[in-house]
Structure 1
Amino acid sequence: MSSSSATLTVWASSWLAGASAPDDVIDALHQWAPMHIVGASDQRTAILTDLEWPGVQDGGGPILLRILRQATETVGAGLRLVLPAPGDVRGLPAGTGFARAALETGEGIVVGEPGRSGLGIVPVVEGPDVLRWTVFPIATVPTAGDYTGLGEAEYAMREAVRDAADALLRISSVHTGSSDGNPRRRIAEALDDRAHHSYPKSTPPRALRILDSADQVAAILSVAEDDSPTQAPSAATAAARENLLRPLWAAVRSARVAAVSACAEFTHRT
């Protein structure tokens, strides 16, 4: 699982559909941090969601489930993962506090039915053992951004695995700093960390393949970003590296959103 927002989206969708127990969701969240706290971004949202104001509440897992249950009571309402980045704000409600917070952290969850009011939830790491979830109001839930479907995402990930490996080879051949270890070992370590996070049994096999491929590409790209064999990179080298990796990171985000969306949609159909 690539992010706490993805974990909550997949597992809470499964729970809302009756395919998973509440404890399953909470156990999955605890893989990210043993303590989860929840707070509202403003007083009105605190009143609507029955959260304390100001401040936060401990015991975040059950609180999140209660909020999500209430926010998805209408037909057509659900959870949608967003993974924004500078220059890529697909799926975000423009000009909102939620959009700014999600863009800053690179992740978030949109809750509700498109065209109606809803909520946005953003997690922030507050320490090695604490994850804070902030609930934001969304006046009008936007439609899903222009992300790819599963077929296109799977093909894109097959291509990205090859392109990411090529990018790592090209970057590693340029002497730009002190290496901090064997790239293969660092990639394996990153993938092993992802392996500690599980998916519901109802997860479609194709979505799982895409998520696994996206994790592999992301691990390679993370190593490529940090790889610096001999000295600090020049501005030109850094710019070339960014231009090389940016489209691959965009493909990873698109694939993850497509796969997580498919998990949520599949769960609601079962």
Structure 2
Amino acid sequence: MPCPSATMVVWAAAWLNGAAASDDFLDALGAWAEAHDVRAADDDLAARLDLPGPGPQDTPVGLALLLPALRKAGVWDGELILPVAGDVRGTGGAGDFGRAALRHGEAVVLRSAGLGLVPHTVADGVVRWTVFELGEMPPAEHLPIGEAEHGMSSAMREAASTLIDLDIAKHRPGVRAEIAETVSNRPASSWPETVPQRSLRVLQRASEVEAILWVATDDAPGGALSASATRARVDALKPLFDSVRLARRSAVAEMVRILADQAQQS
């Protein structure tokens, strides 16, 4: 699903490149929770960034203080990662950051400063961002947005064909309404005005496809599949789940690239 980390990556890039004010950044993150706070994962990093540490005596600070910490650390880039079991690309392995990113299913990688951010909900209406120092990271992967968009469309066709061949696809009354409700119930993300329309289109399409996936994997009452049919359905849909994650990452990366290019040209 759309996630706070995607919003963080794009709006931090906009702010760092002079395309957005700090209030714009804070307003955009406000779609995900009424309050956000920040802390560092260890005391050394806390001292370096002037942020509270992980100890019980350290009170997390508001999100507004993250921005000067990022500027101080020399951040100029950002990357969205969406790790899942079996695919932890971008996490750098099994360190503290990698484990936290996998546990919460999302994170921000700031390679230029060797930092990673992981959000998670700590209370009703409160999201906490923990800042980690990254270890050795593999080179960043680049997936052109056109290739990602094509991959998602191809995976959707193949999944539909496989489900039909397996006789798993079935008519389900009201399915269109279920999908529309799934999409509408998600937070409405806002983006800087200058980001490319193609990225926005890919993100919207990814959300729609993901809504279809969740409905497809949610058995209606009385319609539960056998264990073998369930396994076949999972196998058929996994490439499509993967393609949605890749498309979302690619669209966000394209936004960040365009924002940086615009800053260099101004």
TM-score, normalised via structure 2 length: 0.87
SS in 2 for 1:261: helix
SS in 2 for 1:86: coil
SS in 1 for 2:193: coil
- Counterpart pick for 1:61 among 48, 51, 63: 63
1:24-43 to 2 correspondence within 5 Å? 24-43=24-43
- Taking every aligned residue pair, what percent have the same amino acid on both sides? 42
The answer (yes or no) to whether the contact 2:90–2:137 under 8 Å persists in 1 is: no
Structure 1 residues 81 and 58, CA gap change in structure 2 (3 angstroms)? same
The answer (yes or no) to whether the contact 2:152–2:243 under 8 Å persists in 1 is: yes
1:89-127 C-alpha deviation (Å, 9 max, x unpaired): 1112123111111111110001132xxx61111011123
1:2-59 C-alpha deviation (Å, 9 max, x unpaired): 1000010011111111111111111111100001121222222221221223146455
- Counterpart pick for 2:150 among 126, 146, 155: 155
Structure 1 residues 157 and 97, CA gap change in structure 2 (3 angstroms)? same
1:6 equivalenced with 2:3 (yes/no): no
Distance, in Å, in 2 between the alignment partners of 1:200 and 1:166 is 38
The answer (yes or no) to whether the contact 1:171–1:224 under 8 Å persists in 2 is: no
Shift of 1:232: 4.2
Quote the residue 2:189 is aligned against: 197
Q: Which one is further off, 63-72 or 99-108? A: 63-72
Distance, in Å, in 2 between the alignment partners of 1:36 and 1:60 is 6
Distance, in Å, in 2 between the alignment partners of 1:148 and 1:251 is 11
Structure 1 residues 2 and 228, CA gap change in structure 2 (3 angstroms)? same
* Alignment root-mean-square deviation, CA: 2.4
The answer (yes or no) to whether the contact 1:123–1:132 under 8 Å persists in 2 is: yes
SS in 2 for 1:148: coil
Structure 1 residues 51 and 195, CA gap change in structure 2 (3 angstroms)? closer
In the alignment of these two chains, the number of paired residues is 258
Structure 1 residues 193 and 65, CA gap change in structure 2 (3 angstroms)? farther
Shift of 1:208: 1.3
- Counterpart pick for 2:118 among 115, 122, 125: 122
1:267 equivalenced with 2:251 (yes/no): no
SS in 2 for 1:52: coil
The answer (yes or no) to whether the contact 2:163–2:233 under 8 Å persists in 1 is: no
The answer (yes or no) to whether the contact 1:83–1:107 under 8 Å persists in 2 is: yes
The answer (yes or no) to whether the contact 1:164–1:220 under 8 Å persists in 2 is: no
The answer (yes or no) to whether the contact 1:157–1:213 under 8 Å persists in 2 is: no
Distance, in Å, in 1 between the alignment partners of 2:189 and 2:93 is 32
Distance, in Å, in 1 between the alignment partners of 2:48 and 2:137 is 16
Distance, in Å, in 2 between the alignment partners of 1:210 and 1:29 is 20
